[in-house]
Structure 1
Amino acid sequence: METVLRPVTVIGGSLVVTLIAGWLLDLLLRRADARHTETPLWGLLRRCRLPFQVVLCTSLLRTFHRQAGILPDHSFGVGRALTLVLIASAAWLAVRIATAVVDSTYARYAAGTQDEARVRRVRTQVTLIQRVVTAVVVVVAAASMLLTFPPMRTVGASMLASAGVLGIVAGIAAQASLGNLFAGLQIAFGDTVRIGDTVVVDNEWGRVEEITLTFLTVRTWDERRITMPVSYFTSKPYENWSRGGAQMTGTVFWHLDHSAPIELMRDRLQDILKDIPEWDGRGGGLAVTDTTPHTVQVRAVVTAKDADDLWTVRCAVRERLITWLVTHHPYALPRITTTEATPRPTP
């Protein structure tokens, strides 16, 4: 009877202690979150409740499983399994804590900073740092789990004997991956491209949606996703429309007849811009930039606070000014002259 009662008591007691400790931890974090509303750290740390409970319960069972007589015929195997679970859950808890600290730091910085470009830069750096920390913790946990097996230590010693050859082979095989890894770190701390930046790569316009240690995702205007290695952005030229600020200047072109009323078009452009909410008011002008035997090229310069609004302003100006010309000045539209040329007057 004792051989059954003791294991059940230890397992049940460990579960009860774990549940109570998890409840107390969550209660303390909720109270701290209510007192310190200026930081979201305590609320984010509540995500650590489950891994904390797993670590605590596994630690208790690993400490008392021999005395409790849990599967006494397989005591070594039970201890090994609990050790592996403890390492994995500790890594899980470490990742959750690191993520909470990083997210809290970014949230406080974003709330207190008005410069959108700096916020995007910090967000990019924080995201990559978080991924690096997660990768390091996972690698260390996996290595620790492997080292609990004695045969692995022998294999490790034999592998060290040929580390020079393996290092060369691995370096050649992972050259592209390592290049992307270092390129990702260079992008994060070199501030060349950030999450949320508007870029043009391979004649595709879009917004940077995600940056990892090895690849970068650009979301195009038509909802497509272009995935590119981060090394592309450190080795090839590309356009970053958000570099140095999100404000942008754009142009709108028309090809019109030589008789087009340029001065009236300038006045009409100002009226049109005032009715477009996306126009930021920084600039708006119109000029003749080129001429051909049949037409003149008229260019309007408009501004907006970012690339999306600039596209809207350009389309609206182009459409409304063409409509105005068709309605009030149709003679200004380009046409092909089929009548005979006026003869040159004789002196």
Structure 2
Amino acid sequence: MPSASTVQSEAVKSTSGRGQHKHLSDHQNPAAPSKSTEDVVTWLEESMHAQFEKTPVAVTQTSTVYKAQTSMYRGWMAVKIVNKRAIPASVAIKFLPRELNITMKVNHPHLARSYRILYPSPTKIVILSEFYENDRLLEMVLKQEKIKENPAAIRMFRQLIEAVHYLHERRIAHRDIKLENILLDRNGDIKLCDFGFARFVDFRERSTTFCGTRPYISPEISRFSPYDPFAADFYACGIVLYTMVVGQWPDLKTPHQALSFPDAVPSPACRRLIASLLDDDETTRACYEDVVNNEWSSLAPNWVFADNHFVYTVISPTASGPENQKNDDPSRKSSRG
């Protein structure tokens, strides 16, 4: 299957069709890293006394990611080396500074954690991040064909929604939520990553930069209409959930097309939640409160989210009263290291 295409208003002439892919296998053999990237690796090995694995974890047109270890940080880290020359000028000016700013500011158990950003040369940027041992969620779906709803899909989707909620409360719209941007740590917990299209947005502001990845883009983005980027994030979450529990992307080629499911999966409650997230009308589309209070989410009412840095508990999503409300202030979450 062709790889899902990235959509930007500066580069795309047409975005007709909302769901152009039915299968998920989109792997391509990565290209070899450039000589200049290898020179940066050598510099990092010497300056940080780091040990790099020889084969990159991933290579794209604009960046190379390595797995490395250094005494400066506990455990393995992911080293992303960005080639500024390979990035279009409009993206380098508009999107890259936002990505670097947001990457270092966010701090949540289900967002990828970055340690440091380095500038070894005028054309290279190095992002040091926590390394997550397991595959991306895309690979998990490909291997398992679909993810069992209870407890796995409910747990992982709630983690995703909590990460998105954390961003939205801080006026950050992600704008590129997809299976490829959801990593899994050794415990099978999700880490939303890649803030390349993320930006700070006022709550009533309409976005006119049409970005994202098919088939995760919402109908209003497909129409090039000014849109609510927070609502567009929840639409992408709906595509993620559908794909997790069904094992293929929904067939939504035209606006207002009825959402269809296989006969066996998912459950009626899950179908209703997906339909509410994929509502064509962004003003009535499901949001965070709708998800956490949904009957499907309530199948696992008590939640504990944790990683090496945080632990926090969410009591029943339908509970009321201050003693039962989720603690969303990161400064008040108990630290575990």
Q: Which has the larger radius of gyration?
A: 1
When the two structures are superposed, what TM-score results if normalisation uses the length of structure 1? 0.23
**Normalised TM-score (structure 2):** 0.24
Q: Which has the higher contact order (CA 8 A, sep 6+)?
A: 2
